[in-house]
Amino acid sequence: MSDQDTSKILSEITRRDFTKKASVGAAAVGMAPLLFPNVGAAEGGAKKKFKVGVVGLGGRGSGAVKDILRADPDTILWAAGDIFEDRMKRIGSFEKQFSGRVDTDGGKRHFVGFDAYQKVIDSGVDIVLLTSTPAFRPLHFEAAVAAGKHVFLEKPIALDIPGLKSVVESAKKAQSNGLSVLTGLVWRYSPHLMELHKRIQDGEIGDVLTASSAYSGGGRPNKMPDIKYKPASMSDMEWAQRYWQSYLELGGDGILEFMIHGIDRMSWAMGDGIPVKCYANGANIHPVKGANSWDSFSLRYEYADGRIADFLGRQIPGTYSPSGDTIVGTKGQALAKGHNMSIVRDGKTVWQKGGGLGYVNEHKILTKHIRKGEVYNDVLDKMANSHVVGIMGRTAAYTGKLITGKQIMSSKDLLIETKGMTFDTPFTARPAAMPGKTKFV
């Protein structure tokens, strides 16, 4: 696929396009299902025991295993892989919690190493959960699709434009081959927020004029110690993999590792298009020695029809940590504050609802589509675009320059090469970005 073809997939849409999309009845689940013969339909999908493999048994990998086992009683954990052997111990907790639903052949389908992903894919699984260090996502996704597997693709799905174009190409191949793909942008599958956006798309606040979103936390996840404490026997790459959230090259910075949820919500409200312009600010206010990821971002986007959207994100201990959206329309406002949703018109709340995150619901949607012989794919035109928006904002903040949609899609900056990587692969983190000095690549 050419860059031009991929750019068409990651295309800008106007407000008219958004209104047209909103009339489609499948808005509540992301996209209209496509009908293809697939593994679920071809082999008695309604009752088939789906064999699940997981690549990456960190926090989200362990969570995703539990979520899919809760979502569909006819799933079993068949294989697991990670670059760290100690994480295999977590499988014992699955066996205790989900009796009779873990069958890894006495541990023979526990795979350790940088090639573990391929061994999981080749083990006979039906569905693969790709939840390892995010830098590996394009490589692992390409391999899973090539092997004919349905995929749960944890966020972030790519960290740079070259990687994102690879993911989009793989997603197109998956769709053509009757394979379902669902990403881990969990708010999209949280029922109360799904209902809010369905109401927005049905016109309850009129035409959307602007959105202001925030996604903040009280500190960095898995905070890295001062690098001086790295054991002499540990390679630089192993240390970086242990603390990947601190490194741009492996986690994409906080804007993609964490704040992508809020950026995706903002993008959803604005119609899932790519902005034409972005300028931004950000900083490493409480830097971690040896790391290069920032802890705060403030972004402003302009769309082709002149609408503006704003985003604030930070991960600084002891600070006010707002998360939510204010979506302003011609007839009212939609408010998403934490887990509470409401619609306000003429100063009066006309609808409100609360709820939890859709960690289990997203896996219900994935497995139900597979069992019905329907293809689900939320990468194309939706979550891929949200990642463009995130990368665009990060680049604008890093450089201190005005970045256009066309410009960001031309980026050739591959943050790191993961093919053939081992713990012996040399790793030196880039210097932390300095606005006004860091250049666009």
d(CA 82, CA 296): 30
Q: Which CATH number does 33-188 carry?
A: 3.40.50.720
Higher pLDDT, 72 or 11: 72
325, 336 contact by CB (below 8 A): yes
For 191, 203, 269, the CA distances from 340, given in Å and listed in that order, are: 12, 20, 16
For residue 404, what are the CA distances in angstroms to 16, 150, 273, 287, 332?
21, 34, 13, 29, 30
For the packed helices 384-399 and 161-176, what is the interaxial angle rounded to 10 degrees? 180
Confidence band of 10 (pLDDT split at 50, 70, 90): very low
| Contacts of 18 by beta carbon, 8 Å cutoff, 6+ apart | 208, 270, 271, 272, 273
Q: Give which of 286, 282, 290 is closest to 392, Cα–Cα.
A: 282
Neighbours of 89 (CB within 10 A): 9
The answer to whether 380 and 172 have CB atoms below 8 angstroms apart is yes
- Every domain of the chain with CATH number 3.40.50.720 lies at 33-188
* pLDDT tens per residue, range 43-85: 556 678 999 999 999 999 999 999 999 999 999 999 999 999 9
The pLDDT tens digits of the residues spanning 278-308 come to 999 999 999 888 899 999 999 999 999 999 9
DSSP β-ladder status, 323-329 and 333-337: antiparallel
CA-closest candidate to residue 82, choices 52, 57, 106:
57
Burial class (CB in 10 A: 0-12, 13-18, 19+), 271: buried
CA nearest neighbour of 111 among 158, 57, 191: 57
Partnered with residue 79 across adjacent β-strands are 53
Tokens, residue 396:
């604008």
Beta partners for residue 102, in sequence order: 77
pLDDT of the residue at 218: 87
| Cα radius of gyration rounded to whole Å, the chain | 21
pLDDT at position 5 over 60 = no
Nearest to 257 by CA among 435, 411, 138, 133: 133
Whether 157 contacts 183, CB under 8 Å: yes
- Could you give the residue ranges of the DSSP H alpha helices within 105-160? 116-121, 137-146
Mean pLDDT value across the chain = 90
Respond yes or no on whether the N-terminal peptide bond of residue 156 is cis (omega within 30° of 0).
yes
Angle CA 371–376–382, to nearest 5: 160
Query: Using 50, 70 and 90 to split pLDDT, how confident is the model at 1?
Result: very low
- What's the N-to-C CA distance of the chain in angstroms? 22
Domain 191-356+379-409 annotated CATH 3.30.360.10? yes
Q: Would you state the structure tokens that stand for residue 376, as one six-digit string?
A: 């689900």
Q: What is the pLDDT of residues 135-159, one digit of tens each?
A: 999 999 999 999 999 999 999 999 9
Every domain of the chain with CATH number 3.30.360.10 lies at: 191-356+379-409
428/280 Cα distance (integer angstroms): 27
Percent of the chain scored above 70 by pLDDT?
90
Q: C-alpha dihedral over 65, 68, 71, 73, to 10 degrees?
A: -90
